Amino acid sequence: MIFIHGLSGSGHWWKRNLPAFTPHFAVYVVELVGYGNAHRQRSLGVQADARMIAAWLEQADLTKAALIGHSLGGQIATRVVALVPGRIHELVLACSTGLLRGNLVQLALKLPRAGVSGRLSFLPRILADSARAGLPNLWRTGQSLLLDDVTELLALMQVKTLVIWGGRDVLVPASLGRQLAQAIPGARFYEIPRAGHVVMVDAPEEFNRTVLDFLSAGG
């Protein structure tokens, strides 16, 4: 099981989820270049991040992997599936970008509202990880996120997929999540009404239970 965080994130964003999965899976937590412990490096962008993760999967010879991506991490995960489809058995897209459009200024204006729509106690972590990554990395990655379009990949995906969303997500609205699920053959959409953009932090118990049920289900 491989976890990929979103823009301004780090491995810490999965702290409330890992205990539910580590008893059942070999778990890997990816920290993107420019973020988390790799914050001193220049961020790569969506497609370069996907190529690096795909190359790691091949080098480590990982197969039948469950790939879980949040926000930007979901967009990257979608491209990883396209690059090495035979290595991914399940895909979980949590409040994923990929269909999001607009510009960085518009996105930034939504951040204060997004901050109060989720778990307030998580705000210090968001601010700390954003500051550690730095504005240049956030800007480069944000531009890459908005310019990258995964639409043409979705109909070709042949991987069991769960699209899970927070109903109070103001950064990437749930309507985009429904579009995403409709575009991926056989994908399931699940909404957690009281959660915001960082759905796995806002409602960890329901998120964990839903993902585990999805992974254990046949088909």
Q: What is the mean pLDDT of residues 37-65?
A: 93
pLDDT at 116: 56
pLDDT confidence tier of residue 39, bands split at 50, 70 and 90: confident
202, pLDDT greater than 80: yes
Tokens of 187: 């994908």
Instruction: Compare 83 and 103 and report the one with higher pLDDT.
Output: 83
83 pLDDT exceeds 90?
Answer: yes
Percent of the chain at pLDDT exceeding 90: 77
Q: How many CB atoms lie within 10 A of CB 144?
A: 20
Q: How many helices (H) and strands (E) does the chain have?
A: 11, 6
State the virtual CA torsion across 101, 106, 108, 111 in degrees, nearest 10: -90
**Residue 19: which pLDDT band, with cuts at 50, 70 and 90?**
very high
pLDDT per residue as tens digits for the range 181-198:
999 999 999 999 999 999
How do residues 131-176 score in pLDDT, each as one tens digit? 999 999 998 998 999 999 999 999 999 999 999 999 999 889 999 9
pTM of the entire structure?
0.94
Check residue 100 and give its pLDDT: 85
Q: Which pLDDT band holds residue 108 (cuts at 50, 70, 90)?
A: low
What's the whole-number mean pLDDT along residues 79-98? Answer: 96
- How far is residue 148's CA from residue 132's CA, in Å, rounded to a whole number? 24
Cβ–Cβ under 8 Å, residues 69 and 77: yes
Quick one: pLDDT at residue 38? 83
